[in-house]
Amino acid sequence: MNPETEFREGIEQLADHYKEILGLLGEDPSREGLQKTPLRVAKAMQILTRGYTQDAHQVLLDALFEEKYNQMVIVKDIDFFSLCEHHMLPFYGKVHVAYIPNGRITGLSKIARVVDIYSHRLQVQERMTLQIKECIEKTLKPLGVMVVVEAKHMCMQMRGVEKRNSITTTSDFSGAFNQAKTREEFMNLIHSHSLT
């Protein structure tokens, strides 16, 4: 299913609700500029929540390879956009993932796909960090996994405290990353200069 052109069941009902919301906000949903807005928003919300229909474990399993490599594999600076489940406002930033293989590796792009699946759900940053780590841990059974997420939250920038430059960092780790030296190596590598 292409989430940009094919939509899930319930799209019309979702659009009806958004039409009602526009009225409750004091707008006239029948005016020219808003006539197609309810359906556009319904489509956008289905795209932004497409992660509910995707299986992150299967994505990793579809590109699983036997390999004796047992040093750290890092995929850093994975861009993501998600919706905060408290206000349904965006939060966005970068995810950095490392794992130490234990006889099995996965395609590098699949790590980014896992991030994409979990970020395309209503989320809190802490849970998303944990879900990414647990998915890789359960599916690849590596010697260790570490995930760091750095994000800006529009619910803090647009409303409430209105702190525009604050960044929230979360991390979770297991196995070999319980050793401070291994965590430090990962943190040094993700904050080193990139290729660009």
Which residues are tagged catalytic?
84-87, 125, 153, 155
Q: How far is CA 19 from CA 28, 46, 78, 91, in A?
A: 9, 16, 35, 25
- Report the C-alpha gap between 131 and 2 in whole angstroms: 24
Element (H, E) at 90: strand 90-100
- Report the C-alpha gap between 9 and 52 in whole angstroms: 13
Phi, psi of 98 (to 5 degrees): -135, 145
Burial of 155 (0-12, 13-18, 19+ CB in 10 A): middle
- Report the C-alpha gap between 11 and 43 in whole angstroms: 7
* Amino acid identity for residue 15 in this structure: A
Q: How many CA atoms lie within 13 A of 145 on its CB side?
A: 19
Question: What letter does residue 181 receive in the DSSP assignment?
Answer: H
| Cβ atoms within 10 Å of 83's Cβ, excluding its own | 21
